[in-house]
Amino acid sequence: MSTTEEILGRSDANDLDAILAVENIHKDEVIHVVTDNAKSIFTWDYEKGARPALNKLYEKAKNAQWNGETDLDWSIDVDQEKLAMMGISQGTPDETLDVTGTCFETWTDKEWVALDIQMQNFALSQFMHGEQGALICTAKIVETVPWIDAKYYASTQVMDEARHVEVFAKYLDTKLSGHYPMNAHLGMLLDDIIEDSRWDMTYLGMQIMVEGLALAAFGFMHMLTPEPLLKQLLRYVMSDEARHVAFGVLSLKEYYAELSDLEMLERQEFAFEAAVRMRDRMLLQTEVWERMGVPAREAIELTRLTPESMMFNTLLFSKIVPNCKKLGLLDPNDGWLRKRFQEIGVIQFEDWVDTGEEVDQFALGQDIGMPSAEGIAAS
Ligand SMILES: [Fe+2]
Ligand SMILES: [Fe+2]
């Protein structure tokens, strides 16, 4: 059993100084090389539908393809400053925040608006980089998964992810005002997922953890943004993402039922590492604070460690935890992952609906409901 220090490189998952100490050493690179350590597997068993749930998902995916160039209305003009003044993005703290004696003391509306704009540039940049991670991971799954139905499905996801990278990049380039490099915590996680030689770890890291969080994050942004093009873009992307998460749940459920406790422990540890890396990435927009010229630690303590902000971050795990439960990852080895999820404050979602069950609700044309603050308080 690994210690938190061995898994995360720090003994306390919540140690803010250690989280802040992670430096983005790759921020100036143009290409990034990762060794993927995997074997490509041919299968001579071509029986289509041997795994009916995956086959069904594949058939759905073929009918659900869309075109980012023609299905989205790129003629919509986006006024980032006006949107920032409405205070809808995550930059602006509650009006009740007392900034006396803090790094924000001299800030006027101008700085708060600039912060809001940078937060949006940052968030969309991370979405774009994460989508490229998904593109690479699903191309790897096509090679490494031993089942024909999964290879077929994963190939549709490769196309989906290419489209997602494309639309986020176009939105950033034509509607927003600047890119950010991949955040260090997200980058470490994507590298770990791609470097792992075991085919199911690509699924666990990408489909269950990264895409589970993305599905929740896109949902909140879709619900909160008044900007019609972004709303439309996110709605289209979410219709694909729900299928991708369901693909992970359906594939791993079969595989994990056969694993030993020791093998399950390795998956539990990997899921915990992924959860913490993503939590760290959502908590710390260090690069934005640097660009705004304020000390990151103080800014984070004032704006990110508030109860409202922490609750929002917790809600991002509302897809991941029920999906981990469905895969049987919470309870083996004396409830190892259950205890870790308790430590980082997200276990309360375990009985929420899993994505294998709710995938059809995300299809285009359906009304999507998102969990509310009242919902979480009641759970
Ligand atoms: Fe995607
Ligand atoms: Fe995806």
Q: How would you write the pLDDT of the chain (379 residues) with one tens digit per residue?
A: 889 899 998 988 888 888 888 888 888 899 999 999 999 999 999 999 999 999 999 999 999 999 999 999 999 999 999 998 876 555 556 666 788 999 999 999 899 999 999 999 999 999 999 999 999 999 999 999 999 999 999 999 999 999 999 999 999 999 999 999 999 989 999 999 999 999 999 999 999 999 999 999 999 999 989 999 999 999 999 999 999 999 999 999 999 999 999 999 999 999 999 999 898 888 778 889 999 999 999 999 888 888 888 888 888 899 999 999 999 999 999 999 999 999 999 999 999 988 888 888 898 888 876 554 444 444 4
Q: How far is the CA of 166 from the centre of ligand 1 (A)?
A: 10
Q: How far is the CA of 29 from the centre of ligand 2 (A)?
A: 25
CA distance 82 to 86: 7
Q: How far is the CA of 237 from the centre of ligand 1 (A)?
A: 6
The token pair at 277 is 């890396």
Give 3-state DSSP helix, strand, coil % of the chain, rounded to 5.
65, 0, 35
pLDDT at 15: 87
CA distance 22 to 132: 22
CA distance 255 to 263: 11
Q: How far is the CA of 334 from the centre of ligand 2 (A)?
A: 32
Q: How far is the CA of 164 from the centre of ligand 2 (A)?
A: 8
Q: How far is the CA of 59 from the centre of ligand 2 (A)?
A: 17
Nearest ligand (C-alpha, residue 244): 2
**Cβ proximity of 257 and 325 under 8 Å:** no
Cα dihedral 238, 275, 182, 2 sign:
negative
Q: How far is the CA of 355 from the centre of ligand 1 (A)?
A: 15
pLDDT at 379: 43
Please report, for residues 23, 107, 301, the alpha-carbon distance to residue 205 in angstroms, rounded to integers and kept in the order given.
Answer: 22, 40, 29
Nearest ligand (C-alpha, residue 210): 2
Q: Which of 277, 286, 363, 360 is nearest to 320 (CA)?
A: 277
Q: How far is the CA of 343 from the centre of ligand 1 (A)?
A: 29
Nearest ligand (C-alpha, residue 163): 1
Q: How far is the CA of 10 from the centre of ligand 1 (A)?
A: 30
Nearest ligand (C-alpha, residue 355): 2
179 burial (CB, 10 Å; 0-12 / 13-18 / 19+) is middle
pLDDT at 280: 86
pLDDT at 378: 46
Q: How far is the CA of 62 from the centre of ligand 2 (A)?
A: 15
DSSP designation for 289? H
Nearest ligand (C-alpha, residue 206): 2
Neighbours of ion ligand 1 (CB under 5 A): 131, 134, 161, 164
Q: How far is the CA of 2 from the centre of ligand 2 (A)?
A: 30
